[in-house]
Structure 1
Amino acid sequence: MQRRHLLITTLALAASTAAFAQSAKPIRLIVPYAPGGPLDVTARALAEQVKDSLGTVIVENKPGAGGNIGSDYVAKATPDGSVIGLAAVATHAINPWLFSKMPYDAARDFAPITQMVRVPNVLVMNADTAARLKINTLADLIAYAKRNPGQLNYGSGGNGSAGHLAGEMFKQGAGVFAVHIPYNGANPAQLALVSGQVDFNIDNLASAAANIKAGKLKALAVTPAKRSPMLPGVPAMAETLKGFEVDTWWGLAAPAGTPKDVIDKLNTAFTAALKSPETQQRFAMLMAEPVPTTPEQFGQLMQRERARYEPVVKRSGAKVD
């Protein structure tokens, strides 16, 4: 009897130890872009915040092919919660229409966990150019472009980038034409704007804020539906162009087939971290607004955005392969 009790105790202890070891397995959070950018910084901030509830979360950067390499890695990972990744507007709403061959299906290969952030975009002009052309408002810019078709140009981080497509949406909504000049990344595009090589860009506020504050760039309008509390004095584009709305967003997703209880556990931990005062403070420094959601809400956002960007990408004619 004692031997049987000892065996049961030993087996129970072994099972408990195995369960603990399994639960202690680090989670790998894949960032499909290079280190140092806003997506990477916010991912690392959240990984630190959830260590008490989820254990160690290791952030790994797998950049390349516009984010497709890292996203494909997540799509093909074992669906057990050990590998999750960032799902962004580019990887999950724009790239499916931009690339003729995609290594993953953005609609079917992922299980949404939660949206993480929303970052306002802002239409900015070179400050000297704006002063020379007497452009102080978005309405002034539109009026000038209509009087001088093709005389203005705008830069972006590349064909099919979020900045390029936002510019195409602006041109269509305003009924104007401006020449698109693609650069090899967002930083070269911003340098071109600051140096006066291009007239305006639509950039995310996190990137443009320092040059706006320094007076090198003039902010004419933000692209969310309403004014941003981060730039309260700058009107929303929708105040001039009814219905205009563009946001940069990203969130977390796991491979499709990840069990619901695992998704729920991840959602609970990450949404709590997004609501914490420390996270809100850190994200505010990046001009990023934390947006904790249910998995269903994030999935619906990605679905809406894919449908919205399909005609925009096709109309722009942008292709990268």
Structure 2
Amino acid sequence: MPIPRRTALTLLALAAASAPALAQDSKYPSKPVTLVVPQVAGGANDAIARIVAQKLSETLGQQFIVDNRPGAGGNIGTAATARAKADGYTLLLTADSAYVINPALYKSTGFDPLKDFEPVGTVASSGYVVVANNHFAPNNIAELITAAKAAPGKINIASAGNGTVNHLFGEMLGKAAGIDMTHVPYKGASAAVTDLVGGTVQVSVQSLPSSIAFIKGGKLKVLAVVNEKRIAALPDVPTVGETVKNLGYTPWYGVFAPAGTPKAIVAQLQAAIGQVLEAPDVREKLAGIGCEPLKIGPEPLAALIRKELPRWAKVVKEADVTLD
């Protein structure tokens, strides 16, 4: 049965009216994209974000601008991104610690990690290490444990601050190995590393981006790798888990969009990030700061977050740490 002329004209008019919107969606991104980093410039997350942002700009033909919004352990920038318009033009690139540990550390973070964001995917994993100053006698984790048992509370372990991954993994190590070390919190990783090099403190858990220059320069020695598996940057250094069974942690960095961002945009971003992480220059730059590309898509990342939240809540509770 033929369509009446009036109905046909109406359908054509509706199609014409919707055409510009469809064309606009297909052109994403049509303007610069803000990539919020909820930590200060110069840290591991910032370094990773700038490597990824530069390549995304080349890949998608629009500038990806890194916007550092530090404060409250990452809560300020994360919460601000959660409230941004869900159009793909404001994204979050954050360390897992600020995303899955903060909800257990703070009474209110200003965001819900499960409800306020659409996971896009991970971009990198970072090497983490147990490092010591060169005057400290132990050269590996077994020797550190022996020294700590011989002198309970006498070894100082520095961190980037209360509730940081550095601090919490030190607590995990102490509990798993049955040792007591004195935690010395600093205001940031750089201050902790400076005093570690100077001999004010003996040992620390640090990310490779914050310590690799001192390791390569011979100013710090590595006792073990914190990650579950040995890392490419230090292939001959054993993991903590090779001495203390079932103890390990591999930090990841991921991209998130505000909840409600169109699935097509999330998929396009995920595909672009996957392409970026295959680029030889990106892999080389990440390796230079002790990181490796890590590709986990939206659904597996969401599942990982659901698994990590209760895990870290337990660690925080056992360490009796709150930051409000």
TM-score normalised per structure 1 = 0.90
Question: RMSD of the TM alignment (CA)?
Answer: 2.2
Kindly indicate whether the alpha-carbon contact (under 8 Å) linking 1:275 and 1:292 is maintained by their aligned counterparts in 2. no
**Equivalent of 1:127 in 134, 144, 151:** 134
Kindly indicate whether the alpha-carbon contact (under 8 Å) linking 2:54 and 2:64 is maintained by their aligned counterparts in 1. yes
Kindly indicate whether the alpha-carbon contact (under 8 Å) linking 2:28 and 2:265 is maintained by their aligned counterparts in 1. no
Matched residue, 1:40: 46
Separation in 1, partners of 2:29, 2:96: 31
Kindly indicate whether the alpha-carbon contact (under 8 Å) linking 1:122 and 1:219 is maintained by their aligned counterparts in 2. yes
Kindly indicate whether the alpha-carbon contact (under 8 Å) linking 1:24 and 1:56 is maintained by their aligned counterparts in 2. no
Separation in 1, partners of 2:202, 2:244: 20
Give the drift of 1:54: 5.5
The change in CA–CA distance for 1:65 and 1:243 in structure 2 (over 3 A counts) is same
Give the drift of 1:137: 2.0
Separation in 1, partners of 2:129, 2:287: 16
Deviations 1:199-254 (CA, angstroms, capped at 9, x unpaired): 10010112222222222212111011221121122111111011111122211000
**Equivalent of 2:181 in 175, 178, 186:** 178
Matched residue, 2:63: 56
Give the drift of 1:90: 2.1
Q: Establish whether residue 69 from structure 1 lines up as the match of residue 72 from structure 2.
A: no
Separation in 2, partners of 1:21, 1:86: 23
Kindly indicate whether the alpha-carbon contact (under 8 Å) linking 1:271 and 1:293 is maintained by their aligned counterparts in 2. no
Separation in 1, partners of 2:79, 2:54: 25
User: Could you list the runs of 5+ residues in structure 1 that have no partner in the other structure?
Assistant: none
Q: Which amino acid aligns with 2:43?
A: G
Kindly indicate whether the alpha-carbon contact (under 8 Å) linking 2:228 and 2:239 is maintained by their aligned counterparts in 1. yes
Q: Which amino acid aligns with 1:47?
A: A
**Equivalent of 1:111 in 106, 118, 127:** 118
Give the drift of 1:23: 4.2
Matched residue, 2:199: 196
**Equivalent of 2:172 in 160, 169, 182:** 169
Kindly indicate whether the alpha-carbon contact (under 8 Å) linking 1:31 and 1:43 is maintained by their aligned counterparts in 2. yes
Separation in 2, partners of 1:99, 1:266: 31
Q: Establish whether residue 15 from structure 1 lines up as the match of residue 24 from structure 2.
A: no
Matched residue, 1:138: 141
**% same residue:** 39
**Equivalent of 2:300 in 297, 304, 308:** 297
Q: Which amino acid aligns with 1:15?
A: P
Q: Establish whether residue 85 from structure 1 lines up as the match of residue 92 from structure 2.
A: yes
Give the drift of 1:22: 6.6
Give the drift of 1:48: 1.9
Separation in 2, partners of 1:43, 1:108: 23
Separation in 2, partners of 1:300, 1:259: 20
Separation in 2, partners of 1:22, 1:205: 35
Separation in 1, partners of 2:35, 2:213: 29
The change in CA–CA distance for 1:278 and 1:30 in structure 2 (over 3 A counts) is same
Give the drift of 1:264: 0.6
Matched residue, 2:208: 205
Matched residue, 2:4: none
Kindly indicate whether the alpha-carbon contact (under 8 Å) linking 2:276 and 2:282 is maintained by their aligned counterparts in 1. yes
Deviations 1:110-140 (CA, angstroms, capped at 9, x unpaired): 110011111111111111122xxxx222111
Q: Establish whether residue 314 from structure 1 lines up as the match of residue 317 from structure 2.
A: yes
Kindly indicate whether the alpha-carbon contact (under 8 Å) linking 1:271 and 1:292 is maintained by their aligned counterparts in 2. yes
Separation in 1, partners of 2:266, 2:21: 23
Aligned residue pairs total: 310
User: Could you list the runs of 5+ residues in structure 2 that have no partner in the other structure?
Assistant: 1-8
Counterpart secondary structure, 1:252: strand
Kindly indicate whether the alpha-carbon contact (under 8 Å) linking 1:30 and 1:70 is maintained by their aligned counterparts in 2. yes
